Amino acid sequence: MLGKVDGVVRLIAHDVNVLIKNGKIKSKKEVLKGPKLVIKKKMKPHPTDKARKVYDQMRVRATAPGHLSKAFIHFDPNRTSSPVMQQCSFVLILILTVLYDLDLFMCDDSKAFVFGVSEFEYYVWLPEVIRDDPQYAIYGKDTVWEPVSSWYGTKSASSEYHDATVQHVTSTAPDGMHMQQSQRDPAVFIRWFDKSNMLMFGSHVDDKLGCTHSAPRLYKKWFLPAMNRHFITNDVPDIDYMLGANVKYDKEKHELTLSHETAIAAWMEENHMTEMVPKSVPCSMELLKRVEATPMASTEEEIEEAHKLRPVMWKYIGWAGHIARTTIPWAITAINVAAKYMSNPQPVHLELVLHILAHFLYVTKNKLWRIFKRPKGFDSKKSKLWCIFMVDSDHRGNKSGTSNSGLAVFICNMFLWGSRKAQKCITLNTCESEFMAMSSGGQFAIWFILFLEELQFPIDYPVAILGDNTAAIQTHYNPGTTKYARHIDLRSKFVARMLDKRDYVIAYINTHSNVSDAFTKILEPKAFTRFMLWMANGLDSTWDGEIVGTLERLFQECKMREQALTSKEKQLSLKQNSKKRQKTQKD
């Protein structure tokens, strides 16, 4: 039977147990398998009951990061996932805009979503807000939807549209736009007309965010007409709200502010959290001790209570993680700690999540936004981009015995990206865990530097990878002469081979200045505030005063090493020539 829905979406409601019995799916795990389908919803007042709201529009779409779109084919054989640029690429566009005095622009494509009928079967759980509503959940909590058609369509919102865009943009035909598609992030495109004129954009399903040297000439007179040869591309004049984030760009002051002020305020009001007491930290040390001391659910009552808390945890953590990745990166560690307990949450775990949301409220009230400001002395025509990668780990920070690797990336003293990733192996000592963290940080450094080179931006070499463990640094430079490296897998030693190319250097940084420490563990308020301000406002004179000497010594060592290598090469060439002369004389 047809499920009762509002608007123009046509769905079939099924009982998930009947689908399993009839062999349509093997288990409940196949619902929302692969790239999860996101149901975008717009509400309108109920025609008779003004206290309730019903759906006005709905669209079902699957999205996947551009660099992972090929990997999702295994889960998504019908290619319904729409490639989107990485959040790292989104922030990079904003930073480049500030550094090079560029114009921001945003547009969307009307043809990206049209009315369509899907040609295959897939199933999706009901949204949490209506899962208990008998008007929608015909079979109770076991109700699943099979989208058949919608106003925006399911098949039309697939990667086929993105593929058509790629063919048009990168085409060598006379009517093509001749733009270069990045291989590191396939959703990013760029074209250099000459050394001082460029247009670059990143695709986010039907939205396109970009920057250019001249918006009136290159964007309005070239980009939009060229796109409209194949699509219906509409200019979005209001750039203060981009991809769900608030953006305020002051070109004269070379300053840009990024926040989720509107989204956080709407969320707090929708979930009745405006009266929460703001917290200055996302997780306190006392709360962390209680979370770690709480045992997992074992009795039937505890398991039943965990099942009740699970939907709330999923909803809150999912939203908080999305916000933190872009505008509140200093909360990522607390969110990852809370995410460990999503399967069987206890009340104390929900308290941690609410503590994180209270910190979001603190951020909005104190306006702790991310600020991108051009550093002093940077010349948009002559200066090169300098990148700093800080790495750290917490030895055996998890109950399983594994460690966590932390990474913090800065470009021209502005915070770009931070991540926290669990190591796959159990390390025997701190040197080894730091060694693994430097290896993963080196992988990201190579990817990002190649990304910048691909976009043809000048880079200041050598690129610094900073860690706070001297033993791990020495192990990378001399992997075969230390007992700590005898049993480490060879695939983790590629950083040692990478250092021979002299494009990257590993150096020591004091733990006090290592921002990646904030992505490995929960910190005390004083250290947390210090790292938070550096991530929000960029590296200031207090950080430079501690590390600038190390970097200067590093660059001098690199120059001396290059000179030594060149002298060795000359000596080798002289020896070879002398040997050749001796042979000729003997002959």
Task: Check whether residue 437 and residue 335 sit in a common domain.
Answer: no
Task: Check whether residue 287 and residue 329 sit in a common domain.
Answer: yes
The yes-or-no verdict on residue 360 having pLDDT over 80 is yes
Q: Does some domain include residue 80?
A: yes
The structure tokens listed for 185 are: 């992030």
Task: Check whether residue 72 and residue 173 sit in a common domain.
Answer: yes
Task: Check whether residue 238 and residue 263 sit in a common domain.
Answer: no
Q: Does some domain include residue 503?
A: yes
Residues ≥6 apart with Cβ < 8 Å to 112: 156, 157, 161, 205, 206, 231
The yes-or-no verdict on residue 375 having pLDDT over 80 is yes
Provide the β-strand partners of residue 174.
none
Question: Could you report the per-residue pLDDT of 220-243, keeping only the tens digit for each?
Answer: 999 999 999 888 889 988 788 888
Comparing 280 with 111, the larger pLDDT belongs to: 280
Task: Check whether residue 38 and residue 179 sit in a common domain.
Answer: yes
Task: Check whether residue 266 and residue 360 sit in a common domain.
Answer: yes
How far apart are alpha carbons 441 and 456 in whole angstroms? 23
Q: Does some domain include residue 67?
A: yes
Q: Which of 166-170, 212-216, 442-446 has the highest mean pLDDT?
A: 212-216
Adjacency order of strands within the sheet including 255-259: 241-242, 245-250, 255-259, 370-373
Q: Does some domain include residue 566?
A: no
Domain tally, the chain: 3
Task: Check whether residue 87 and residue 207 sit in a common domain.
Answer: yes
Residue 102 pLDDT: 95
For range 415-423, the mean pLDDT: 91
Question: Could you report the per-residue pLDDT of 36-85, keeping only the tens digit for each?
Answer: 444 444 556 666 766 666 655 555 555 555 555 555 555 455 555 667 88
Task: Check whether residue 293 and residue 412 sit in a common domain.
Answer: no
Question: Could you report the per-residue pLDDT of 79-135, keeping only the tens digit for each?
Answer: 556 678 888 999 999 999 999 999 999 998 876 655 455 555 677 777 665 677 777
The yes-or-no verdict on residue 281 having pLDDT over 80 is yes
Check which CATH number belongs to the domain holding 429 and give it: 3.30.420.10
Residue 270 pLDDT: 86
Residue 37 pLDDT: 45
Rounded to 5 degrees, φ, ψ at 145 are -105, 140
Q: Which of 195, 219, 243 is the last residue of a domain?
A: 243
Comparing 372 with 25, the larger pLDDT belongs to: 372
Question: Could you report the per-residue pLDDT of 456-499, keeping only the tens digit for each?
Answer: 999 988 888 999 888 888 777 766 655 555 556 555 566 666 66
CB 95 within 8 A of CB 247: no
CA distances to 436, 450, 495 from 440, in Å = 6, 16, 9
Pairing assessment for the beta strands 116-117 and 124-125 based on DSSP bridges: unpaired
For range 426-430, the mean pLDDT: 80
Residue 225 pLDDT: 94
Residue 440 pLDDT: 87
Residues ≥6 apart with Cβ < 8 Å to 586: none
Residue 36 pLDDT: 42
Residue 253 pLDDT: 92
For range 352-373, the mean pLDDT: 95
Residue 130 pLDDT: 67
Look up the pTM and report it: 0.80
Residue 29 pLDDT: 75
CB 349 within 8 A of CB 312: no
For range 190-207, the mean pLDDT: 90
Q: Does some domain include residue 266?
A: yes
Task: Check whether residue 235 and residue 316 sit in a common domain.
Answer: no
End-to-end CA distance of the chain: 97
Question: Could you report the per-residue pLDDT of 133-186, keeping only the tens digit for each?
Answer: 777 788 888 888 877 655 444 444 556 777 788 889 998 888 889 999 998 888
How far apart are alpha carbons 355 and 300 in whole angstroms? 27
What range defines the domain where residue 100 resides? Answer: 10-243
Q: Which of 338, 366, 394 is the last residue of a domain?
A: 366
| In the chain, % of residues over pLDDT 90 | 36
Task: Check whether residue 543 and residue 430 sit in a common domain.
Answer: yes
Task: Check whether residue 393 and residue 460 sit in a common domain.
Answer: yes
Q: Does some domain include residue 562?
A: no
Task: Name which of 26-40, 164-178, 404-418 the model is least confident about.
Answer: 26-40
CB 132 within 8 A of CB 7: no
Question: Could you report the per-residue pLDDT of 521-578, keeping only the tens digit for each?
Answer: 999 999 999 999 999 999 987 776 556 556 666 666 666 656 666 666 667 766 776 7
The structure tokens listed for 488 are: 């480490």
How far apart are alpha carbons 114 and 299 in whole angstroms? 50
CB 161 within 8 A of CB 223: no
How far apart are alpha carbons 16 and 9 in whole angstroms? 20
Q: Does some domain include residue 297?
A: yes
Q: Does some domain include residue 584?
A: no
Task: Check whether residue 150 and residue 276 sit in a common domain.
Answer: no
| In the chain, % of residues over pLDDT 70 | 74
